[in-house]
Amino acid sequence: MQWGGGGGGGSGAIANGAAAIATGQAECVVVFRALAQGQFGRFGQGPRMKTVSGPAAHTLPFGLMSAAQMFAMKVNRFMHEHGVHQEALRAISLASYAHAQHNPRAVMHGRPLDADTYDASRWIVEPFHLFDCCQENDGAAAMVLVAGERAQDFPHPPCYILAAVSGSQHRSGAPVHNTPEYASSSFTTVAPRLYEMARLGPGDVDVLQSYENFTGGVLMSIVEHGFCKPDEVNEFLTVDNLLAPSGKLPLNTSGGNLAECYMHGLGLNIEAVRQIRGQSTSQVPGADVALVASGPMVTPVSSSIFGSEATL
């Protein structure tokens, strides 16, 4: 059961599976996502239709058609209100591409990105350059969930789901871009519940995997999960701070949706598990807590926290 548009259901599906196991409705659950982009007119295109009605009638006739266009409006508002520079978005992209160079599975492995190339790339819609936008890939990703007491039955180090929640703030899905908290990635109510469930806080997180439909969603997700304040974004979001192994907050260590592969973000949850097991190609030493933010700016969104045995 994948709830929400875009990747908003990634961690939510894990929450559903964990709940089924915890309540005895299932012993083993597979969470998966599979995509074949050409079947659904994706590839960043606007909708193909001859007539339009409802909320779309307020946007499509005026050229607001693609996901990049819709989400750029929210990100522009946030950047304007808090004086955020383009370099913050660039740092997110460069960190993802740098991590992908260590990951032979990554689509962008062997295709590094530098600041000059990012700056020279074409605008898709401001503030998004080409390299601020996620890939479109065919493929699949899957995770197997079992009860915690069975973790010792398997050959790899155990990884535990410490928290997984889904939701969004009041009227975050209001149509026609009139939600009250417009410049938001929709985690303002989800993040506090996540930390309360895990009995942890932002300072306990060793590595972050944040869904990037576009880099602006990552930026706002980092703020709404408490890693920095809105007016601290320019200082916090630097490439050095986001790189494994020694950055303040290593980000998207597989390459993420930008540079590894786009499977509606489920690859980010898988990478969080790799970090806890010590199996990432950009490993954070001693990573005990990994957070995943799924599907910023859609409704609902979801987040999850994975932990090692030391966190129990």
Q: How many domains does the chain have?
A: 1
Whether 55 is in a domain gets the answer no
Over residues 199-212, mean pLDDT: 98
Lowest mean pLDDT among 46-55, 203-212, 264-273: 46-55
Report the pLDDT value the prediction gives residue 43, as an integer from 0 to 100. 62
Whether 52 is in a domain gets the answer no
Whether 1 is in a domain gets the answer no
Look at residues 311, 307, 304 and name the one whose alpha carbon lies nearest to residue 31.
Answer: 304
Percent above pLDDT 70 for the chain = 96
List strand residue ranges (DSSP E) for 105-159, in order.
123-125, 128-129, 139-146
Whether 50 is in a domain gets the answer no
Whether 273 is in a domain gets the answer yes
pLDDT tens-place string over residues 63-89 = 888 889 999 999 999 999 999 999 999
What amino acid is encoded at 55 in this protein?
P
Bridge partners (DSSP) of residue 291 are 208, 305
Look at residues 184, 195, 197, 247 and name the one whose alpha carbon lies nearest to residue 226.
Answer: 195
Tokens of 89: 């978005």
User: Which of the four pLDDT bands, split at 50, 70 and 90, describes residue 166?
Assistant: very high
Give catalytic residues, as residue numbers: 211, 262
Whether 146 is in a domain gets the answer yes
CATH number for the domain harbouring residue 26 = 3.40.47.10
CA 263/CA 257 separation, integer angstroms:
8
Enclosing domain of residue 237: 10-44+65-311
Question: Would you say 248 and 241 are in contact if contact means Cβ atoms under 8 Å apart?
Answer: yes
Task: Answer yes or no: pTM beyond 0.75.
Answer: yes
Give the residue carrying structure tokens 């990951």.
Answer: 103
Bridge partners (DSSP) of residue 306 are 161, 290
For the chain, give the number of residues.
312
Whether 3 is in a domain gets the answer no
Q: Is 295 helix (H, G, I), strand (E, B) or coil?
A: coil
Over residues 266-295, mean pLDDT: 97
Q: Indicate whether 56 pLDDT > 90.
A: no
Whether 185 is in a domain gets the answer yes
pLDDT tens-place string over residues 27-49 = 999 999 988 876 666 666 677 77
| Cα end-to-end span (Å), the chain | 28
Report the pLDDT value the prediction gives residue 300, as an integer from 0 to 100. 93
Chain-wide mean pLDDT for the chain?
94
Over residues 14-18, mean pLDDT: 96
Over residues 97-105, mean pLDDT: 98
Report the pLDDT value the prediction gives residue 168, as an integer from 0 to 100. 93
Q: In what order do the strands lie in the sheet with 160-167?
A: 160-167, 301-307, 289-294, 207-210
